[in-house]
Amino acid sequence: MPAKVKGPTDHVVVVGAGLAGLSAALRLAGAGRKVTVVERESVPGGRNGLLKKSGYSFDTGPSVLTMPDLISDALACVGEDIKDWLDLVPLKPLYRAFYHDGSQLDVHADTNQMQAEIAKSISSQEAEGYARYVDFVTKLYKYEMKDFIDRNIDSPLNLLTPNLARLIALGGFRKLAPKVNQFLKDPRTQKVYSFQAMYAGVSPQQALAIYAVIAYMDSVNGVFFPKGGMHAVPRALAGAAEKHGVTFKYSSTVTSIERKNGRATAVITDKGERIPCDVVVLNPDLPVAWRDLLGKQPRSVKRLKYSPSCATLLIGSSKTYDHLAHHNIHFGKSWAGVFDELIKKKTLMSDPSILVTVPSKDDPALAPAGKSSYYVLFPTPNLSADIDWEKIGPKYRDEMIKSLEDRGYTGFGDAIEVEQLTTPLDWKNQGMEQGAPFASAHTFFQTGPFRPKNLAKGFENIVFAGSGTQPGVGVPMVLISGRLAAERIVGPVK
């Protein structure tokens, strides 16, 4: 049995209403605990934030939603049905990929439809390779989810299960790019089924093949869009939690944790409020929580290496482009070279690959009538790079606009009505170590049992949740991390 917190667990304070904190709060409430959530912003969501400007509503964080069953599972802990809280639209296509040679490829979750698309756009042999790749990632997901992702791991020895042998036999611990290339021979399909490694903070060349599981989560299981934007997800989770007795204290920042004999006894807020508790769940970025709230970072946390960061532009525009899907990926000609620039050389991409999401396409209410909203993401190095974002930021914004115009977004700059640029420096100011919204990178020794544990060493009753702890980065992973945090307090949650 995984270790649990010691002592009474009647009242739990959750610091931060991010997705992980909300997931934990729902499970704890369902298990009969008194739960108080303290959130510094005026709304729930954490990184999954909301910006309202001149009639536009923008999501400030994640834009891709996969594995909605994990949301259903959290809501079910208090007897709620996801259909009563969220209107989820399955996206078709999941992505539209654009390539430097002018070709494009629509990515579908339906494997027969995707095979037909690949056969038509590339070749029948490539379509057969894709079918074999789907079989590979589906097995990977099956063996990985239960033993490696969806459980608390106290020691590498916990991994010694029959599924570990199956993963090794499958080639899960080889490098991702060569593994993908065994099945897919065309650079276009290779890119579209391996770029997801970026979400884990590593290049496809460096990532382990087990990270192809992210390709399963979106490209096979499907991508969804919640009406009202991604921020509808934390609103739903918080609404259900509140309905079932969870107390929320918004616009309150926890400034310190009162401790006695290795136990947290209360949290103190910037308003001078003291909230006594039996257990604390910390949802801020793990290294920041250690430093700012627990007073010191363990050496293992100080040594962590971080994922690349990103610059995002939220754009309200008078212009609509008919050739776009909801999610659009524009791949540059350079591939391995781009990751070398980002991760090894720590420089800005000379030939960027870009994600452009158009939320107003599937929910026109997110923009004024006849207008469009765009979420533009350019990967960048994190703050360990020698880049002065205060100086570079405005110039880079201009480069981002030019890059979009070069890729077919004619007149994009002139049509902008509202904009917000977020750089790695802004992410840092929002509480993300090294300005890395994708947290510590999923290198081998920062993955699974080697990732920072969710029990705070040296404290009997402090638990972490979020992307900095197990199982890792991404909306599905942080929802799971909330459940794992709750299980450290109340045991397995049915």
Q: Of 221, 249, 264, which residue sits at a domain end?
A: 221
In a domain, 6, yes or no: no
Give the containing element (helix H, strand E) for 397.
helix 389-406
pLDDT of 407 = 95
pLDDT of 449 = 81
Residue-wise pLDDT for 386-422, tens only, equals: 999 999 999 999 999 999 999 999 999 999 999 999 9
The distance in angstroms from the start CA to the end CA of the chain is 15
**Residue 167 pLDDT class (50, 70, 90 cuts):** confident
Range with the poorest average pLDDT among 71-75, 186-190, 201-205, 449-453: 201-205
pLDDT of 82 = 98
Q: In this prediction, what percent of the chain has a pLDDT beyond 70?
A: 98
More confident: 150 or 267: 267
Tell me the H-state helices in 123-202. 124-144, 162-170, 176-183, 187-192
pLDDT of 493 = 66
Answer whether residue 156 shows pLDDT above 90: no
- Residues 261, 336, single domain; the answer is no
- Residues 389, 402, single domain; the answer is yes
In a domain, 382, yes or no: yes
pLDDT of 130 = 96
Q: In this prediction, what percent of the chain has a pLDDT beyond 90?
A: 82
- Residues 450, 421, single domain; the answer is no
Rounded CA-CA distance 451/462 in Å is: 17
- Residues 312, 429, single domain; the answer is yes
Answer whether residue 10 shows pLDDT above 70: yes
In a domain, 4, yes or no: no
- Residues 291, 210, single domain; the answer is no
**Residue 173 pLDDT class (50, 70, 90 cuts):** confident
In a domain, 5, yes or no: no
**Residue 153 pLDDT class (50, 70, 90 cuts):** low
Give SS3 for 462.
strand
421: Cα separation from own chain's centroid: 19
- Residues 373, 313, single domain; the answer is yes
pTM above 0.85, yes or no: yes
- What's 242's domain CATH number? 3.50.50.60
Q: Of 410, 433, 456, which residue sits at a domain end?
A: 433
State how many domains the chain has.
3
The Cα-based distances of 281 to 75, 243, 319, 468, 482 in angstroms read: 19, 20, 44, 13, 9
In a domain, 116, yes or no: no
Domain extent, residue 428, equals 308-433
**Residue 174 pLDDT class (50, 70, 90 cuts):** confident
pLDDT of 61 = 94
- Residues 327, 414, single domain; the answer is yes
Mean pLDDT over 324-352 rounds to 93
Range with the poorest average pLDDT among 157-161, 265-269, 273-277, 279-283: 157-161
- Residues 326, 383, single domain; the answer is yes
**Residue 494 pLDDT class (50, 70, 90 cuts):** low
**Residue 488 pLDDT class (50, 70, 90 cuts):** very high
- Residues 470, 386, single domain; the answer is no
In a domain, 71, yes or no: yes
- Residues 241, 327, single domain; the answer is no
In our burial notation (b when 16+ CB lie closer than 10 A, e otherwise), range 296-332 reads ebeeebeebbbbbbbbbbbbbbebebeebbbbbbbbb
Q: Of 387, 406, 433, which residue sits at a domain end?
A: 433
In a domain, 104, yes or no: no
Residue-wise pLDDT for 189-233, tens only, equals: 999 999 888 777 788 888 888 888 888 888 888 999 999 999 999
Answer whether residue 249 shows pLDDT above 70: yes
Give the containing element (helix H, strand E) for 114.
helix 111-121
As a whole number, the mean pLDDT across the chain is: 94
Answer whether residue 144 shows pLDDT above 70: yes
- Residues 266, 312, single domain; the answer is no
In a domain, 372, yes or no: yes
Answer whether residue 338 shows pLDDT above 90: no
- Residues 299, 445, single domain; the answer is yes
DSSP string, 214-278: HHIIIIIT--EEETT-TTHHHHHHHHHHHHTT-EEE-S--EEEEEEETTEEEEEEETT--EEE-S
Mean pLDDT over 443-450 rounds to 83
